[in-house]
Amino acid sequence: MGTVALILVAVFVLLLVLDVPIAVAIALATFVTVMAEGPDPSIVVAANMANGVNSFALLAIPFFILSGHLMGKGGMASRLIDFAATLVGFLPGGLAYVNTLTCMLFGSISGSAAAAVSSVGGFMIPEMNRKGYNREFNVAVTTTAATTGLLIPPSNIMIVYSVAAGSVSIAAMFMAGVIPGLLTGLFIMLVCGAFAIKNNYPREPRSSFKQILLSFKRAFLSLFLILVVIGGILIGIFTATEAAAIAVVYAFLLSVVFYREIKLKEIPDLLLQTGITTAVVMLLIGASSGMSWIMTMANIPQTVSDALLGLSDNPIVILLTINVLLLCVGTFMDMTPAVLIFTPIFWPVADSLGMHQVHFGIMMIANLCIGLCTPPVGTCLFIGCGVGKTSIAKVTKTMLPFFAAMIAALMVITYVPVVSLWLPVQTKQLKQADVEASTFMRSTSKSELESTDAAG
């Protein structure tokens, strides 16, 4: 086990240092490790990569990616911005709240943090610059708020986690992310308020009730997509995968037929972008599946689990350690491979603590969302700096209070299970008995957990 782990980690880290693309680095590290063990790596690795993407649930990913592209260019962002402005624009630093709320709404509709940064930020950052807001602050707000869309459903990364964890309900994950996503957005808004008071940022004129209704009417069809997708899943009309296809049809009709923001001649280019993005995601999933297989064969997850459980008897300390490790991982690894690689490593530890699998998934996603905003691999940070025409070095200092807010929300999500599990139970996506069987935060030591398992 020690030799296999050493080869796998050494080759993987070396390839990352050489700036090899992450999917290729994962596949090559797995290939070399299998070759060192004796079996024919071309057969073993290829078979495991093929099995990794052979999942019906993964069909939802290309559909949600395509619907996200359609929404990004289809005029939905501007309508959501107008609606958000009528709701919160009158507050001190109103445009910062508008930016945050719009990112939350658009991210939840498109399921893409990157799309939210580029679409919402493309309008809001220049507008906030024009109104006298600090440029770095504007980029920081957009970048961090956009990640809430990965918690508020629908979300591609939840589908990836469901596949990586095995037999986890996608609908339950969708419902579990709603309150944590709103909570994270609220914490970000609190930081915006502190900046607004300190820097005396302006208010926007208060909207009348009639203006609010008019802006809601303009944005209604965009917002209705959330009800179509989530409502259809909850009622049982269609599965999460089928809901993704429905989202594509709805976004196409809205963007091309009703809003007429997208021309038919632009559709092939959007399909090409979708194909490229899907290919990258599927390659990551396949390569990570191969790495997960060799890690399981080498008993690496169990070894890590034993080591972490040996650090302390306190579940709070163990989960804090996992969160710190994931925060470090998020700074240099993108979200999808991180979920695929570290779910099988850390889940046995969380399971030993009596944590529910859905709760653990939401904690993991909330944690890795922070990595999208941190250098050197923060995708949202790079896009935000590009849109805002500023540098990462200038933005990083302003980002620190927002990082603190996201970490504070993460701690609440981690140690208060009801934040993630209440809504799935109320919508009957999880059984109350299964949730009550989770002993996390009701047990105080590893010995108690072991005695409970023995009694069972």
- pLDDT at site 449: 40
What b/e readout covers 93-112, taking b as 16+ CB neighbours within 10 angstroms? bbbbbbbbbbbbbbbbbbbb
- pLDDT at site 50: 84
For 324-376, how does the pLDDT look when each residue is reduced to its tens digit (9 = 90+)? 999 988 887 888 888 988 898 899 889 888 899 999 999 999 999 998 888 77
What does the block give as tokens for 128?
């906030």
Q: φ, ψ for residue 180 (rounded to 5)?
A: -60, -40
* 12/419: higher pLDDT: 419
Q: What is the pTM of this model?
A: 0.85
Reply yes or no on whether the pLDDT at 85 is more than 50.
Answer: yes
Dist. CA 90–CA 215, nearest whole Å: 15
Question: What number is the average pLDDT over the span 272-282?
Answer: 87
* 247/167: higher pLDDT: 247
Question: What number is the average pLDDT over the span 184-213?
Answer: 91
32: Cβ contacts below 8 Å, ≥ 6 apart: 7, 11, 41
* 264/78: higher pLDDT: 264
Dist. CA 323–CA 319, nearest whole Å: 6
Dist. CA 377–CA 33, nearest whole Å: 26
Reply yes or no on whether the pLDDT at 450 is more than 50.
Answer: no
Q: Is 339 in contact with 346 (CB distance < 8 Å)?
A: no
- pLDDT at site 39: 65
pLDDT level of residue 228 (50, 70, 90 thresholds)? confident
Torsion region of 204: left, alpha or beta (phi above 0 gives left; psi -120 to 50 gives alpha): beta
For 19-64, how does the pLDDT look when each residue is reduced to its tens digit (9 = 90+)? 888 888 888 888 888 888 766 677 777 888 888 788 777 888 888 8
**Geometric angle at alpha carbon 441, from 439 and 443, rounded to 5°:** 60
For 357-366, how does the pLDDT look when each residue is reduced to its tens digit (9 = 90+)? 999 999 999 9
Number of domains observed in the structure of the chain? 1
For 387-431, how does the pLDDT look when each residue is reduced to its tens digit (9 = 90+)? 888 888 889 889 999 999 999 999 999 999 999 999 999 988 888
Reply yes or no on whether the pLDDT at 380 is more than 50.
Answer: yes
Q: Is 438 in contact with 418 (CB distance < 8 Å)?
A: no
Q: 334 is in which domain, residue-wise?
A: 2-455
Reply yes or no on whether the pLDDT at 1 is more than 70.
Answer: no
